[in-house]
Amino acid sequence: MVEPWRTFEPDRTIVVREQWRDRLWSAVPHRVVRSDDETLVSWVPTGAVAVWSSNRDLPPAAGLSREERKLLALQTCEVHPVERPEAPDKLFFHRRDRWSRVNLGWDPRTGSFNGWYVNFERPPAADDDGITSMDLVIDIWVDPDRSWRWKDRDDFDRAISDGIHPPEVRPMIEAEATRVIAEIDRASGPFAPEWADFHADPAAGLPTLPDRYRHDGTEWSRSLEERWR
């Protein structure tokens, strides 16, 4: 049963998913670092195997850029699930009722901190397996010195004009961006200095997806109504 929010036990593996037009769109295994009534912090190490919807090797997407392929996939839903290993090491902040997820990344070879990636997406919903949201195309990149820049604003404008996302999401993104930029300026929340020094337990191993979420698993053939019944 779907709920707006719930907490999860530390060290548990959960599945963080995207849902798009009544179908599963991605499934990534995360290990819970911290979970409370407002924030879920999770970890995905390099090499953890996720499943993503892709049209990269399908004829309609031939010759298109990555950005063009993504918008086409959202428009047509002509995709298939593809497994791929995650990289680099990443820490994720999922926050209740927020229209963004903040990712911190580290170079798996050197351990150096790469910066923050602010992924604007729909507020997360929870169930027994983990949490679900959906990417809204637009992002902000934040360097280790907390200088920041927008990413994919043109793609977001096109997603609105093409009817992929409804126009009412624009003010939600603008309001969320104002909150995030204030956090960047204050070095608070995910942007607090201590999180850039995070180190996962190397003995914990890789989180793995349940078989039903693998690329040939049953979750990819279930409807949203069946999944959350």
pLDDT tens by residue, 121-138? 999 999 999 999 999 999
- As a whole number, the mean pLDDT across the chain is 94
What is the distance between the alpha carbons of residues 46 and 81, in angstroms, rounded to a whole number?
20
Q: Phi and psi of 121, rounded to 5°?
A: -155, 170
Section 185-201 average pLDDT: 95
| Of 119, 132, 108, 99, residue with least CA distance to 28 | 132
**Own/partner pairs, 45-48, CB within 8 angstroms, 24+ separation:** 45/86, 45/89, 45/108, 45/200, 45/206, 45/207, 46/85, 46/86, 46/87, 46/88, 46/89, 46/108, 47/85, 47/86, 47/87, 47/206, 48/85, 48/86, 48/206, 48/207, 48/208
Q: What pLDDT digit, counting tens, does each position of 31-69 carry?
A: 999 999 999 999 999 999 999 999 998 988 898 998 999
Domain 13-219: assigned CATH number: 2.40.380.10
Quote the pTM value.
Answer: 0.94
Domain ranges of the chain: 13-219
| Alpha carbon 200 to its chain's center | 19
**Residue 197 CB contacts under 8 Å (≥ 6 apart), including other chains:** 113
Q: How confident is the model at residue 228 (pLDDT cuts 50, 70, 90)?
A: very low
